[in-house]
C-alpha cells in the first residue's frame, strides 16, 4: 500500500473516499468543503450520524467536489478526544472503507490537528486495523485499500513520524503473522528461519541447537524440549546501532505449542496454545523495526524456542533439572514450562553485561484471571525501568499494570529436594511465576511482562482484528525510542 502526504484541498482530491473525522455533534467543522457538502453533512448530523466514538457513515459526495464519497468517522466528545480514540477511529474507518471496496482514500486532517493530536496516529490505527491473515484461506478475497493520501503540508518531522509508524505497524503485522501461523508450520526450526531472514549489516543471528544448549548447561530449557521430536532452537539476535553502549536484552517466550506436557492441558481451548510464542514473535518484531529504523541502541534478542509436548522421553513431574546458572529446579508441573526456558535465557543473557533485561511472555493463565484482556502484568526489580515502561504504555495504549514481587513469595517456591520448584501453587500464580524468574535475574535490572491476557484477541477490536494482537512491539519500541 502506498501512503503519501500531499498539500491539496479536500475538494480537489481525486479518490474513492475522503475520510472526515468529526467530533460529536459538531457539524459545522467542514465549511471549507463548500456549501453543498456542508449542507449534506449538516443534514446527516440531524439523524443518521452523531459523531460518537468509532461511528462510521459512508455517503456519496456531491458532484461539485472531486472525492467520490465521504466517510464520516466519529471521534466522540470534543473535550475527550485522545490519541487512542484517534487510533481507534483510524482502524474503524480503514476497515469499513476496505470492506466497502474502496481502493484510494484520502484523510482530511484539519479536525485532528485542531485538537492538537497527530493525523499519523489515525494512520497508525488504519495500518494496524487493515491487517489480515489469509495465508491458509484458499478462497479469493482481494478487497484492499491500495492508496492513502494524507492531506497535509509535508515536513521533515511528519515524514519521520510516518516512516516510524509504517515500520512499527509492519513489524506488528510481522509478529502477528508468526503467531497466527499454526504450530505444524511454526516449529522452532521455522521460527529460527524467520529470525535468520532478518539478518543484515547491523543485525546478526545465531542459532544454538540441542547440542550447544547441552554444552552450555541449559538443563531447564532442554527439559521442556524432551517430549517433542521437533529440535529446539535457541535463537540469539544481535542488533548493533551504537558504539560502546551496554545492550538491552529482550527475551521472548517461544513455546511454539504448549500442550502442557505430561501435566497435559484440557482439550478445550488447547488449539490456542499456538500463541505461546507471542513473546518471541514480539521480540523479533521489535528487532526487525529497530534495525530498519537504525535506532541508536544495542539490542540482544533471545528466543528460547521449543515445543512442550508429552512423549515417551518427556520430563515428568518430580524430575529435577539444573539450569545454566547452576540452580537446581524441581519440576512440579510440566505445564509451568515458560519459566524454565526463560530461566536459562535470563542466565544466558548475563554474558552480554546488559543494561537491562526485559522478558515478554505468555506466562500464566492467572494473568488473564487478574487483569482480563486489558493489560499486561508487569513485575521487576528496578523502579526506574518500570516507570519508563509505564510511560511507554501510556504513549502506545499497550497498557501495563504493576504487580508486586514481595520477598514472601520466595517461600511459595521452596523445594524439599532442589533449590527451587517450578510452581508455587494456585494462590498468586501470576506473581510467583515472576518471582521464579526474579531468582534467575538476581542483581541484573530486569522487568517481566506477562502478555497471556493480551496477546490474543477473541473479538475484532477497532485496530486489532481477532487473533494475534502483536502486543509488546509498539510498547517496547516506544520505550527504546525514549531511552535513545
Query: Cβ of residue 57: shortest distance to ligand BES, in angstroms?
Result: 38
3-state SS, residue 134:
coil
Is residue 265 part of the annotated active site? The answer reads: yes
Q: Could you give the angle at the alpha carbon of 87 between the alpha carbons of 83 and 91, nearest 5°? A: 170
Residue among 87, 233, 339, 421 flagged as catalytic: 339
Nearest partner of 193 among 211, 176, 205, judged by Cα: 205
Answer yes or no whether residue 277 interacts with ligand BES by CB under 6 A: no
Q: Could you give the angle at the alpha carbon of 323 between the alpha carbons of 318 and 325, nearest 5°? A: 145
DSSP type of residue 453: T
By C-beta, is 49 or 436 nearer to Zn ion?
A: 436
Query: Cβ of residue 29: shortest distance to ligand BES, in angstroms?
Result: 44
**Binding residue for ligand BES (CB under 6 A) from 326, 365, 372, 404?**
365
Q: Which does 452 bind (CB under 5 to 8 A by kind): Mn ion, ligand BES, Zn ion, none?
A: ligand BES
Give the total of residues touching ligand BES (CB under 6 A). 15
By C-beta, is 267 or 417 nearer to Zn ion?
A: 267
Answer yes or no whether residue 276 interacts with ligand BES by CB under 6 A: yes
Query: Cβ of residue 363: shortest distance to ligand BES, in angstroms?
Result: 6
CB 120 within 8 A of CB 155: no
Answer yes or no whether residue 254 interacts with ligand BES by CB under 6 A: no
Query: Which contacts qualify for 409-416: CB closer than 8 Å, 24 or more apart?
Result: 409/435, 410/435, 410/439, 413/439, 415/329, 415/330, 416/330
Q: Which of residues 314-353 bind ligand BES (CB under 6 A)?
A: 333, 335-338
Answer yes or no whether residue 189 interacts with ligand BES by CB under 6 A: no
CB 279 within 8 A of CB 252: yes
**Set of cell numbers at residue 423:** 510452581
Q: Which of residues 450-469 bind ligand BES (CB under 6 A)?
A: 452
Is residue 104 part of the annotated active site? The answer reads: no
The DSSP code sequence of 200-222 is BTTEEEEEE-HHHHHHHT-HHHH
CB 80 within 8 A of CB 123: no
Q: Which of residues 234-263 bind Mn ion (CB under 5 A)?
A: 258
The DSSP code sequence of 278-303 is HHHHHHHHHHHHHHHHT-SSEEEEEE
Residue among 38, 77, 210, 265 flagged as catalytic: 265
Query: Cβ of residue 425: shortest distance to ligand BES, in angstroms?
Result: 8
Answer yes or no whether residue 258 interacts with ligand BES by CB under 6 A: yes
By C-beta, is 10 or 335 nearer to Mn ion?
A: 335
Answer yes or no whether residue 307 interacts with Mn ion by CB under 5 A: no
Query: Cβ of residue 220: shortest distance to ligand BES, in angstroms?
Result: 14
Answer yes or no whether residue 450 interacts with Mn ion by CB under 5 A: no
The residues near 157 (Cβ < 8 Å, ≥ 6 apart) are: none
**CA separation for the pair 372, 454 (Å, rounded):** 8
Backbone angles phi, psi at 319, to 5 degrees: -65, 150
Query: Cβ of residue 215: shortest distance to Zn ion, in angstroms?
Result: 26
Residue showing the smallest CB distance to ligand BES in the complex: 365
Contacts with Zn ion by CB under 5 A lie at 255, 258, 276, 338
Please identify every residue annotated as catalytic: 265, 339
Which residue ranges make up the site for ligand BES (CB under 6 A)? 258, 276, 333, 335-338, 362-366, 423, 429, 452
Which residue ranges make up the site for Mn ion (CB under 5 A)? 258, 335, 337
Amino acid at each position: 500500500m502506498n501512503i503519501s502526504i500531499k498539500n491539496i484541498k479536500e475538494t480537489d482530491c481525486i479518490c474513492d473516499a475522503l475520510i472526515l473525522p468529526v467530533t460529536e455533534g459538531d457539524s459545522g467543522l467542514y465549511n471549507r468543503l463548500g456549501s453543498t457538502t456542508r449542507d449534506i453533512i449538516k443534514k446527516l448530523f440531524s439523524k443518521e450520524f452523531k459523531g460518537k466514538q468509532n461511528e462510521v457513515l459512508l455517503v456519496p459526495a456531491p458532484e461539485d467536489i472531486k472525492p467520490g464519497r465521504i466517510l464520516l468517522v466519529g471521534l466522540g466528545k470534543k473535550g475527550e478526544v485522545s490519541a487512542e480514540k484517534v487510533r481507534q477511529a483510524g482502524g474503524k474507518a480503514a476497515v469499513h472503507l476496505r470492506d466497502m471496496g474502496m481502493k484510494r482514500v484520502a484523510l482530511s486532517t484539519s479536525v485532528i490537528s485542531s485538537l492538537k493530536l497527530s493525523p499519523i496516529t489515525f494512520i497508525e490505527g488504519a495500518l494496524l486495523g487493515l491487517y489480515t491473515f489469509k495465508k491458509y484461506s484458499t478462497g479469493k478475497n482481494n478487497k484492499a485499500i491500495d492508496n492513502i493520501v494524507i492531506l497535509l503540508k509535508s515536513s521533515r518531522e511528519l515524514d519521520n513520524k510516518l516512516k516510524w509508524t509504517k515500520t512499527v505497524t509492519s513489524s506488528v503485522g510481522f509478529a502477528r503473522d508468526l503467531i497466527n501461523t499454526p504450530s505444524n508450520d511454526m516449529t522452532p526450526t521455522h521460527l529460527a528461519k524467520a529470525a535468520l531472514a532478518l539478518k543484515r549489516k547491523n543485525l546478526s543471528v545465531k542459532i544454538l541447537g540441542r547440542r550447544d544448549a547441552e554444552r552450555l548447561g541449559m538443563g531447564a530449557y532442554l527439559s521442556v524440549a524432551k517430549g517433542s521430536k521437533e529440535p529446539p532452537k535457541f535463537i540469539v539476535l544481535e542488533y548493533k546501532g551504537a558504539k560502546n553502549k551496554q545492550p538491552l536484552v529482550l527475551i521472548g517466550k517461544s513455546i511454539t505449542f504448549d500442550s502442557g506436557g505430561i501435566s497435559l492441558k484440557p482439550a478445550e481451548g488447547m488449539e490456542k496454545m499456538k500463541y505461546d510464542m507471542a513473546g518471541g514473535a514480539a521480540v523479533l518484531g521489535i528487532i526487525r523495526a529497530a534495525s530498519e529504523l537504525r535506532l541508536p541502541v544495542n539490542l540482544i534478542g533471545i528466543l528460547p524456542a521449543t515445543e512442550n509436548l508429552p512423549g515417551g522421553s518427556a520430563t515428568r513431574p518430580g524430575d529435577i533439572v539444573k539450569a545454566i546458572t547452576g540452580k537446581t529446579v524441581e519440576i512440579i508441573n510440566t505445564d509451568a514450562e515458560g519459566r524454565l526456558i526463560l530461566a536459562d535465557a535470563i542466565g544466558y543473557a548475563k554474558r552480554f553485561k546488559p543494561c537491562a533485561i526485559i522478558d515478554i511472555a505468555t506466562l500464566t493463565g492467572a494473568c488473564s484471571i487478574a487483569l482480563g484482556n486489558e493489560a499486561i502484568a508487569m513485575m521487576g526489580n528496578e523502579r526506574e525501568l518500570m516507570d519508563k515502561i509505564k510511560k511507554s504504555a501510556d504513549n502506545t495504549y499497550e497498557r501495563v499494570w504493576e504487580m508486586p514481587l514481595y520477598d514472601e513469595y520466595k517461600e511459595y517456591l521452596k523445594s524439599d529436594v532442589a533449590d527451587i520448584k517450578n510452581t508455587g501453587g494456585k494462590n498468586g500464580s501470576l506473581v510467583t511465576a515472576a518471582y521464579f524468574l526474579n531468582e534467575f535475574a538476581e542483581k541484573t535490572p530486569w522487568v517481566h511482562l506477562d502478555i497471556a491476557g493480551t496477546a490474543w484477541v477473541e473479538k475484532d477490536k477497532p485496530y486489532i482484528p481477532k487473533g494475534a494482537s502483536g502486543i509488546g512491539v509498539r510498547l517496547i519500541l516506544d520505550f527504546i525510542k525514549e531511552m535513545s
